[in-house]
Amino acid sequence: MGIIGLDTSGSGIGIPETMRERALAANALLHSREGAGSDFLGWVHLPSSIGDLELAAIGASAARLRAAAEVIVCVGIGGSYLGTRAVLEALSDPFRLLHRTQEGPVMVFAGQNLSEDYACELLDALEERSFAVIVISKSGTTTEPAIAFRVLKAALERRYGREGAAARIAAVTDRERGALRTLADEEGYPTFVIPDDVGGRFSVLTPVGLLPLAAAGVDIAALVRGARDMERATAPDVPFDRNPAAVYAAVRNLLYEQGRKIEILGSYEPKLQYVSEWWKQLYGESEGKEGKGIFPASVTYTADLHSMGQYIQQGERTLFETIVSVDEPQRRLTLGAEAKDLDGLNFLAGRRLSDIGRMAELGVRIAHLDGDVPNLRIVLERIDAYHVGALLYFFEKACGISGYLLGVNPFDQPGVEDYKRNMFALLGKPGYEEASEAIRARL
């Protein structure tokens, strides 16, 4: 197995030479920047371009925030939020808040919704805690994070004063323009740049993700190192059979051509739930256009076997499944024996939970294959910063290849502007008066 393993034997797909050639050509297009969306391909060589000085600068700013606050609020939405949360949840103890000693600040998130209750409850929770804010927005005017930041900035200034608040805010934004850039320059916030040629859903390995992750205590150097090694493993000179991103992109497109319109990404590790949430945006926003695209859905097993398992096993045969499997857990727990064996589990006594879980995973795979659910398997040696970094870049590269195979521009998102136009018109934003009249006439 390489950095990650990829098993496509359960797909039922033989990859013809024409598809192999197309996948390699699509990969070459990403590197030559001659394909659609070429202005947003900065992520392709991003891991290998991140130097020690950049990591050190991010680490120093993160250390200042960690020293100043018990809670760090990360403000962002979409690609400015999901990648950070995916990595953080994957690498964190889910019960860390129950421990008597919490090392470093707690990271929470804001700006990813418009819930009044959520905002008020966050402010209540911050009332007796020292806190700092990392605000992430290229323009500074995206509605949800802009509202959240306005509220949090006011709370900081009430408590610490204007200068004290400025010392507890870091901004990740455009290099030269935009409302957040202007405010950061006026107030003196430490700032990091969102590269012009990296779209939001591909930005987790820029300061968008690296600054909050470093502030949360993640080893960002290891994260980048894993992505860098995967960049090499999926380079355009790597033969098709040894390039996992090209193989994954090819197989999923062949399945799509056979009528498999839904891809379910699943894992037996709850820590990877938000990796699936990040993946859904990455693929949904990249491929879902021009009436095309595989619909990305996700499950967490074994829990969702008790809710979605029936449909997956016997529902409409328009789906396929990709499972992220983990070889070795970080911890060890062996099931004990009971004298009376009332639950009938003594036959499992002495076995590790991970061994039992592997048998569950294998049993489900066999059942789903018998139920005509094509099954792909991505294998991680373990969940750590290095392997998570590799997994993120693998999915990004495969997404770019897959979008080109599908025949769309995987780096734009024209459809997301439609709801914004309607929302602004309904809220009475200046400049949207004509649209407002048309929309209200439909209500």
Which strands make up the sheet holding 191-193, listed edge to edge?
Answer: 106-110, 71-75, 131-136, 169-173, 191-193
Q: DSSP character for 125?
A: H
- How many CA atoms lie less than 13 Å away from 183 in the CB half-sphere? 22
- 128 classed as catalytic: no
Angle between helices 273-287 and 385-406 (to 10 degrees): 20
Chain-centroid distance of CA 178 in Å reads 25
Structure tokens at 398: 């495969």
Rounded to an integer, what distance in angstroms lies between the CA atom of residue 438 and that of residue 432?
10
Query: What φ, ψ does residue 439 adopt, rounded to 5°?
Result: -70, -45
Q: Quickly list DSSP for 283-295.
A: HHHHH--TT--PE
Q: Which amino acid is it at 306?
A: H
Q: From the candidates 292, 420, 433, 437, give the one annotated as an active-site residue.
A: 420
Q: From the candidates 17, 99, 306, 417, give the one annotated as an active-site residue.
A: 306
**Terminal alpha carbon distance of the chain:** 57
- 285 classed as catalytic: yes
- Beta partners for residue 322, in sequence order: 265, 376
Taking residue 418's Cβ as centre, other Cβ atoms within 10 Å add up to 9
Q: E strands of 68-105, at which residues?
A: 71-75
Rounded to an integer, what distance in angstroms lies between the CA atom of residue 133 and that of residue 208?
13
Is residue 207 within 8 Å of residue 58, measured between CB atoms?
Answer: yes
Handedness of CA 139, 400, 326, 252 (dihedral sign): positive
Q: From the candidates 263, 285, 361, 396, give the one annotated as an active-site residue.
A: 285
- 31 classed as catalytic: no
What region does 147 belong to: left with phi over 0, alpha with psi -120 to 50, or beta? alpha
Give SS3 for 236. coil
Catalytic residue list: 285, 306, 420
